[in-house]
Amino acid sequence: MPRDYSQLKVFQMADDLVVRIYQATQHFPREEQFGLTSQIRRAAVSVPANIVEGAARQTEKEFLNFLNISYGSLAEVGYYIGLSQKLGFLSADIGAELHASYEEISRMLNGLMRSLRQK
């Protein structure tokens, strides 16, 4: 039976991060449209999308596999946030806010995966 991903706090936070990434990257240089802008958006969308896909799977093992993929994409997002700050594409305050969300989602996703491994 599929799980209700929409009730997972980690999904809600990851979904919110996607929206904030899209908003922040609207101001990236035009020449980055097919570079960093595309990469950070793709990685950000992958985080909640893999939670959704995993929640629809039949077994905890399959769900855990998709959460692992989501975790990898989240690590990518964390890197891109830092890189965007170094390149001056994100202000310090927006970068710090996005990084704090990344850290919180990372902790929550890690906790969810740990709990599924213990079942």
Domain ranges of the chain: 5-117
pTM score:
0.94
- The fold of 5-117 is de novo design (two linked rop proteins) (1.20.1440)
How confident is the model over 23-34, as pLDDT tens digits?
Answer: 999 999 999 988
Pairs from 34-43 (Cβ < 8 Å, separation ≥ 24): 36/80, 36/83, 36/84, 36/87, 36/89, 39/76, 39/80, 40/77, 40/80, 40/81, 40/84, 43/73, 43/74, 43/76, 43/77, 43/80
How confident is the model over 74-99, as pLDDT tens digits?
Answer: 999 999 999 999 999 999 999 999 99
Confidence category of residue 3, pLDDT binned at 50, 70, 90: confident
